[in-house]
Amino acid sequence: MKRGLLMPTAAVRNVTDISMELIRKLDIDAILLDVDNTLAPPTSHIAYEGVYEWIAMLKENHIAVVICSNNYKKRVKPFSDSVGLDCVSMSLKPFPFGFNRAKKKLKEKPQSVLVVGDQIYTDVLGANLAGMKSVLLVPRDEEHGLTIGIRRKLEVNVRKKIKIMGE
Ligand SMILES: [Mg+2]
């Protein structure tokens, strides 16, 4: 696989580090947001510190936001409701289906869409395959699942080449 397909547009530690300054610099008007290890610990319904305020900031600045997760509806929908966002579950990232479904939920056609998430082989690869920009986060919590261990191992060498902004 071409290395370029695995490289994010930018990388920060936490989702709340994505400032309006960075969003404007990337010329973004819509964001597709991952959930697990991005907005909240895997399976948790309690968002990371500052997430509610960060989402409110995006809304105030007229950035369209839709949650786009590979997890099940019963996990994703209640969480999305709790933060007041529309969502697509079972999105099959890195394939484009879920991103396309999420884009259809936006009221206005976006000019430039940003994908935000903590995984290179789903969030970043998916964004690159779909021609979207991406911001990669550092996962905070351990995640359990059939294939997550493999994807995390594959990430190790790629992450060494990615500079986290401000660090
Ligand atoms: Mg995730």
**For residue 135, is pLDDT > 90?**
yes
Distance 108 CA to ligand 1 centre (A): 26
Mean pLDDT of 81-99: 97
Distance 40 CA to ligand 1 centre (A): 9
- Amino acid making up residue 12: V
Strand segments (E) across 7-166: 10-11, 30-33, 64-68, 86-88, 113-117, 133-136
Question: Torsion-angle region of residue 92: left (phi > 0), alpha (psi -120 to 50) or beta?
Answer: left
**For residue 81, is pLDDT > 90?**
yes
Distance 141 CA to ligand 1 centre (A): 10
**For residue 1, is pLDDT > 80?**
no
The continuous run of DSSP H or E covering 155 comes out as helix 148-159
pLDDT computed for residue 109 by the predictor: 85
Distance 34 CA to ligand 1 centre (A): 6
d(Cα 59, Cα 27) in Å, to the nearest integer?
A: 16
Distance 39 CA to ligand 1 centre (A): 8
**For residue 2, is pLDDT > 80?**
no
pLDDT band at 145 (very low <50, low <70, confident <90, very high): confident
3-159: CATH homologous superfamily?
HAD superfamily/HAD-like (3.40.50.1000)
Distance 90 CA to ligand 1 centre (A): 12
Distance 11 CA to ligand 1 centre (A): 14
pLDDT computed for residue 146 by the predictor: 81
Distance 61 CA to ligand 1 centre (A): 25
Ramachandran angles phi, psi of 117, nearest 5°: -170, 175
Ramachandran angles phi, psi of 55, nearest 5°: -65, -40
Q: What does the pLDDT look like over 8-35, one tens digit per residue?
A: 999 999 999 999 999 999 999 999 999 9
pTM: 0.96
Distance 137 CA to ligand 1 centre (A): 9
